[in-house]
Structures are given as C-alpha cells and as structure tokens.
Structure 1
C-alpha cells in the first residue's frame, strides 16, 4: 500500500513538468516562425538583385553540314555515327569515273587549242612574208615607172609602156596594202589575253583545271575535327546531290552556352560578368563561365516569321534575348550540343 501511494505521488509530481514543457514547446514554435521569416527577409535583402538566372539555356557548338560539291553515286563510306574524325580525314567517295573521262576530254581540248594557235601563228608568219614580198614588188614597180617616165620625157618609149608601168605600180601598192591587212588580221587572231597567253588556250586550260578539281572533289573530306552525326543516310549506292548536306560534324572544341534571358533581366547584365552553369546532364556540379556576348535582337526577331505588332490586336509578351556564356572550366568529359542548362549571372560584378 505504501508503494502504491509513492507511485501516485511521483505521477502527480511529473504531470506539471510535462505541461510546462508543452508550453515551452508551443512558445518556441510560435517564435521560430517569425525568426525564420525574418532570416529569409534579411537573406533576400542582402542577396536580392545581385544575380539573374534562367533555365531557358542550352549547350551549343559549331556544327558543320558536309555536302558534296559534285553530284554522283556514293561508292565508299569511311565513317559511321558518333565516330571521331580529324580535319582532312576521308568521309566518303563519289564515283570518280565520269570525272576522269571529263578530265581526259579537257586535256584533249587543251591540245587542240595549242594546235590551233600554232596554225594561226604559222599563218601569221606566212602573211608577214607576203608583206615583205609585196614591199619588194612595190619598189620594183616604182623603179620601172620612174624609168618609163624619164624615157617618155626624152621620147625613147611609148605612151603604152608608160601606162603599163604606172598600172603595175598601182597594182603592186594595192597588193602590198592587202598583204599588210591580212597580216594584221592574222596577228589579231593570235592576240594575247591580259594574262599574256592566248584566250583559246587559257579557256581550255581553265576547263581542264575545273575538271581536275571536280575529280578531286569526288573524295569528300572532313573540314574540321569533331564527331560524326546524322550519318544514317550516308550509304554506298546513295545518289549525292550537289550542295545537299549528307552528314554533320559537331566540333569537339569551342562549346558555349546560349542562355535566353527575359528582357526585364538584362538591365545589369554586362559582358565579362561571371556566370554559374548547371547542366541537367551533370547534376550537383557547377561550372564556371563568363558572359561574352549579348545578342542584338530577340529570339522572335530572327525567327522564320517575325511578329508584326502593327495589327491592332497585339498582345505584349515579354521577349527573351540570347546571352552567350563562355565556359571557363576544363571538363573531364565532352559536352553534347543541345543539353539543357541553368545559368546564373552575377550582375553585381
């Protein structure tokens, strides 16, 4: 019985202590909420306006669309999807046989042009010889006419001989003029171009060089170093159409971030400010960068169909302006063009 009274007394003493703890707990909870709000307000006041951020950003890289500069059927393919290539590596080859034949024809045309010019030069030299002969004929006819004129004055020749000598002189002079004209015409045909050669030969040589260039272009090589992309349609037997992209190469160097900020966020954004980059593909990692450019127009301004606001039913929409961010950190893995990113620019800098 005494033990029961002792336990009851202990319980009676414990109950007031538990109620007091509850009151203290309620008081602490009531005070913690204003304290948390106050701390949040102080933090926002201290850090507010020091950064601007957006999650409308993505990784970009130089992408080169490789197309055939000559048309033809693809005979060999030397690359596959996601393969790394160096500048100058052979990507694919177009059937070269038609272009070899064209080169042979062009080389034959150069030979024909050289032969034609040689014949023209021979004709010119012959005309020059005729001109020299006509000069001798004119001198002889002039001397004969002078003698006949002197003999006629002294009465030792007939009028007919005098007239014949005069006519022979006129004929020789006319022949000389004709020979000179033909020589000048032959010389004009041989005339040189601004480069010092004959135009016909230069045209044939240019056609030959073009044929040789087309033959060389049947081997399509990588213009940059990077990774092959969109190579599914690059198959032997496919018809390559001139200037139609056949495969893409994504550069391994020079990645950057294009962050589309709202126009209301650009008041304090300046080139050179540091930026923090968070990639969705690399969670928990912050990459350092800095602003290297602010686009001169909004994204909608350079769209295929720019908006026309002078319609009367225009609704104002906050525009976004691309801001380019250069990546400063050295990464241990290659990036992928098109990855999503979250960018924070420290405008307080």
Structure 2
C-alpha cells in the first residue's frame, strides 16, 4: 500500500475513535457513525486539463488534415479525364446478295471468324448460266449484223460508182446528139429520149449517194471502225458482261476479315432478294472506343492525346490509344426524338459528347467485341497545380 493510502486510512480511524467518544449512546446502545468524507487525489485536475488539450488538438488537427488532403488531391488532380460511359465499336457490314435467287449452300457457321474472300453462301447458278448463254448468242448476232451492214455499205458504194459511170455515158450521148440536132442531122425526138435517159442516170446517182450515206450512218459514221467498236456490238458485250457478273455474284464472299453472325437465319432453299441483309460481319481487327464525356470534362481534351482504356471483360489488361475526333454535337442532338428544351418545365441536364478513341493495334484487340463496356482515361498532360504554375 502506498503512503497516500496509509494516510487516508489513519485519518478515517481517528475520525471513528473521536466519534465513539463524543457521540452519546442511543437507547439501543448502537453508536452513530459519521459520514466518511470523499478523498480528492492529488493531480486529478492536472489530468483533466491534459484531456481537454488533447481533445482540442484532435478537433483541430483532423479537419485540418482533411482540408490539406482535399487541397492536395485538387492540386494534383485534373490531369486525367475519366468516364465509364464508353463502349467498344467495330465496323458492321450487312451481308447481302447482289442478285436474287435461292440459297444453294451455306459455308459458314454462326460467330465464325472469316478471312477476306472466304465463301459465305452460294445461290443457285443455273438461271444465270442460261442468261449468259443467251447474251453470248445475242453478241454473236450483233457482230453478224454489223458485218452485214459493212457489206451493204460496200454494195452501196459500188452502186454509186456504177451510177456515176452510167451518168457519164448518158451525158456524152446527149451532148453528141445535141450537136447533131443543131446541125439538123438528128431529130428532136431522139434528143428528147436521150435527155430522159440522162435525167434517169442523174437520179440513179442521187439515189446511190443516199444509200451510201445511210449505210455509213448504220456503221456509226466510220465504216472502217472494228466490229466490236460498233454500238450494237458494244451493247451486246455489256449485256454479256452483266450476265457473267451476275453469275459470279451467286457466290457471296466475305468483303473483309471479321466475325460473321446471324448465319442461322440463312437456310438452303430460301429465296433471297437482291440487297436484303442475310447476316452481319463485324471487323474484329478494326476496333475503336466511343467515350461519352460530360460536357464539363471536355476542357483540355484535344485530338491526339494519349488514352488508357480498360474493358470490363479484361480488367487486368489495359489498352493504349489516342483521341482521334470529338463529335460535332452532343448525344441528344443525334437522338431519334431530340429533347424539346423550349418548354416551361425545362430542367438543365449535363450533356455528354461522344469522343472517338482509336486503339493501338495489338493482338489482344481481336478478342474484343462490339458493345463491350470500358473505362477511359484521357491524359491531358497538366494537373491543376501545373496550370496554376503557368499563370
């Protein structure tokens, strides 16, 4: 026991003895016990003072630390603009046939990766082969017709030459008879007959010239032009090429490499109309991200800035990229039903602006799929503290 405890105990004993001697006994001979006074330990006030100081320091230091931490975060922040409203996009190509026909075979399965030029499906080629044969026959007939036109032209030229020779002979006969008629040797009736023959020869020459012009026009104005250069033949050649093209289009090929989907909708024997979408091809090697930043985050974002992208499907893998373009309008401007802000109950809503981000070409991008969610972080290069230093 300490010295302080011994002193307190002695004081209590002395008080009890004094009480026994001075206090009168009651009827039941029981002494009246006086109340024990409360002891006041030394140093209790000092302890309370220290507690108050500790509480004061704690109440001041904690808010101060919070304020300093927030100030530090604010000063060192602002360099990166982040958003999780971002999705992967890939070029989507609608696969369709250029000609109408019935599906003869399907060479791919749903969600299969294909390369450029791979056969997707084929149409029944028989009707198109028949069309090719018909156009070949039409081309041969056109060439034969042109050759006949050339023969007609040469015949017309020969007829014109003959008519001109006849005209020369008739002109000479008429001139001689006219001289004789002036001398009275030949009669006027004979001269009239020669005159009629001369007029007939002139008309024959005129008719032959018209026939030559007609034959030349039928040959396109140039009788020496090759047969295949004639408009009739060229038209037949074009029709044959179109028929051959339609025949080749019965085999539908993959326009680019990617993943083919919705193949289950194609069945053998199904009739396909030209231009109707039968499947979809996603170009897996061409993936970009469309990040929808708030309009309040756009300050400082520029084309060419580096970007780090993390997809929810691959949280442990980050992809590098860069900003390639910023949309000309907010997402609301391209909505099917734009918001009508000119109303009495208008409420301001923070708009989002699409930002296109091209990913660096790496092998892992082939595993990405259109529509995947992503977290995008754009490095603007300067924090708030850097901006303040530049002021």
1:121 — aligned with what? 150
2:388 — aligned with what? none
Q: Are the equivalent residues in 2 in contact too, given 1:261–1:323 (CA < 8 A)? A: yes
Tell me, yes or no, if structure 1 residue 149 matches structure 2 residue 178. yes
Instruction: Tell me which of 186, 191, 195 is aligned to 1:166.
Output: 195
SS at match of 2:195: helix
Instruction: Tell me which of 324, 336, 348 is aligned to 2:369.
Output: 336
SS at match of 1:267: coil
1:195-274 equivalence runs, <5 A: 197-274=229-306
In structure 2, list runs of 5 or more residues that go unmatched.
Answer: 1-43, 383-391
Instruction: Tell me which of 109, 112, 130 is aligned to 2:138.
Output: 109
Deviations 1:52-78 (A, max 9, x none): 211110011122211110011111111
CA distance in 2, matches of 1:329, 1:200: 53
Q: Are the equivalent residues in 2 in contact too, given 1:192–1:199 (CA < 8 A)? A: no
Tell me, yes or no, if structure 1 residue 72 matches structure 2 residue 101. yes
Q: Are the equivalent residues in 2 in contact too, given 1:226–1:250 (CA < 8 A)? A: yes
1:86 — aligned with what? 115
CA distance in 2, matches of 1:93, 1:329: 34
Tell me, yes or no, if structure 1 residue 135 matches structure 2 residue 164. yes
User: How far did 1:228 drift?
Assistant: 1.2
Q: Are the equivalent residues in 2 in contact too, given 1:74–1:240 (CA < 8 A)? A: yes
SS at match of 2:211: helix
Q: Are the equivalent residues in 2 in contact too, given 1:261–1:322 (CA < 8 A)? A: yes
2:10 — aligned with what? none
User: How far did 1:344 drift?
Assistant: 1.6
Q: Are the equivalent residues in 1 in contact too, given 2:284–2:369 (CA < 8 A)? A: no
Which region of structure 1 is more displaced relative to structure 2, 210-219 or 33-42? 33-42
Relative to 1, partners in 2 of residues 1:141 and 1:263: Cα closer, same or farther, differing over 3 Å?
same
* Bigger radius of gyration among the two: 2
CA distance in 1, matches of 2:345, 2:180: 113
CA distance in 2, matches of 1:176, 1:311: 89
CA distance in 2, matches of 1:179, 1:141: 17
Deviations 1:81-108 (A, max 9, x none): 1211110111100111111111111111
User: How far did 1:297 drift?
Assistant: 2.1
CA distance in 2, matches of 1:316, 1:151: 117
Q: Are the equivalent residues in 2 in contact too, given 1:192–1:198 (CA < 8 A)? A: no
TM-score norm. by structure 1 comes to 0.86
User: How far did 1:45 drift?
Assistant: 2.0
In structure 1, list runs of 5 or more residues that go unmatched.
Answer: 1-15
Instruction: Tell me which of 268, 278, 282 is aligned to 2:310.
Output: 278
Relative to 1, partners in 2 of residues 1:309 and 1:172: Cα closer, same or farther, differing over 3 Å?
farther
1:13 — aligned with what? none
Tell me, yes or no, if structure 1 residue 346 matches structure 2 residue 383. no
Q: Are the equivalent residues in 2 in contact too, given 1:58–1:258 (CA < 8 A)? A: yes
Q: What's the RMSD between the two structures over aligned residues?
A: 2.7
Which region of structure 1 is more displaced relative to structure 2, 207-216 or 176-185? 176-185
CA distance in 1, matches of 2:368, 2:195: 99
Which region of structure 1 is more displaced relative to structure 2, 218-227 or 270-279? 270-279
1:52 — aligned with what? 81
User: How far did 1:311 drift?
Assistant: 6.1
Deviations 1:124-153 (A, max 9, x none): 221111111101110010000011011112
Deviations 1:151-196 (A, max 9, x none): 1122110000111111111110011101111121121112169998
CA distance in 1, matches of 2:221, 2:95: 41
Relative to 1, partners in 2 of residues 1:341 and 1:181: Cα closer, same or farther, differing over 3 Å?
same
